[in-house]
Amino acid sequence: MTNQLAQAADQVWQQMKTDHSGNWGMDIHQWDWVPGVGVIAMLEYGMQLQQAEGRTDVLDYLQQWVKQNEGKAAAARVINGIAPYAIFPGLNRVSGEEAYRKKAIMIAEWLMKEAPRTREQAFEHTVTENVEFAEQVWADTIFMAVLHLARTAALTGNVEFAEEAQRQVLIHLRLLEDKDSGVLYHGWNCSTKDHMSAARWTRANAWIAAGVPLIAQEISGLVAVEAELRERYVRLMDGLVRYQQADGLWSTVMDQPEFYREISGSAGIAYGLLKAMEGGLLKRDERYEAAAQRALQAILPYIDENGLVGGVSGGTPVMESIAAYNNIPLYPTLYGQGLVLMLLLQQLS
């Protein structure tokens, strides 16, 4: 099994760096959340290969990727455009190049001082497309922007960055939680005080399931991880395990079992279970381990012989109805590749 997972990880990574120019889902040479999730996963892969085998090819690729693509970062910074910067603290550590450190701090300062916020002080979810979601809080923000803030906190020892990262996680968990089930709604509208279509969208939950253990790992050396964060995260993960389908996957809207199964969200949740147990946010529990293993086994057949991950839903704003989520088309994407790669790596670690 170890060899199978390692081979799958290599195939997934090789496909990610293949030239898919003009293909929105797979074009690595952009500066947005789609390649951002991809390069975050690549950094994990590169670090693992360097430690295990002394290989530096993935880390070398990432440094070259930054040189080729950073100039494409949007002039007006937005939350979704922060995602690729989350690799800068790691690249600073492995290369010693001060430019990565300086830019990481600059972006973290923008988040602290300039990023638009809702009336509840959550980062407003801003995107590179020419559309606004005023006063909206999305689960996606935790992975796309707060992870960078936490990693820069750890890099610099900046307690204020760490405190703000934890505060953002708590605000998002409080606003998005479905109190009956413990899982999260996709978004919250601060103006209308509602969850809009009130969809328990699987990938939204995956961004937080996967992102919070990474954030807690980064900030724990600077601030105490609050009991409320731990309690809310446990409720979330318990709720997600209850919604897992018999085949090991989650429906794209998890409380709609007749909706199609969605691989990126399923991978992110399974990764979160394993990562949170490793880091102590979740206790070691056979239920969590079994859920993660069932998901992994169900996901492997979706990786084709060329390393392309199928069953991944396209880019998804908060939709106007729950039914509309089931109409989002499926196609390979870098965030699907990335979340699956992270799950494979966590299982191999």
Residue whose C-alpha is closest to residue 230's, from 294, 142, 164, 170: 170
pTM as predicted? 0.97
DSSP classification of residue 319:
-
The residues, ordered by sequence, that sit 6+ positions from 31 with a Cβ below 8 Å of its Cβ are: 69, 70, 72, 73, 74, 81, 84
Mean residue pLDDT of the chain comes to: 96
Contact of 268 with 339, CB cutoff 8 Å:
yes
Write the single-letter amino acid at 324.
Answer: A
Note the pLDDT tens digit of each residue in 240-291.
999 999 999 999 999 999 999 999 999 999 999 999 999 999 999 999 999 9
Rounded CA separation 339/332 (Å): 12
Q: Is the pLDDT of residue 76 over 70?
A: no
Joined together, the tokens standing for residue 80 give 């979704």
Note the pLDDT tens digit of each residue in 280-339.
999 999 999 999 999 999 999 999 999 999 999 999 999 999 999 999 999 999 999 999
Residue whose C-alpha is closest to residue 90's, from 41, 34, 151: 151
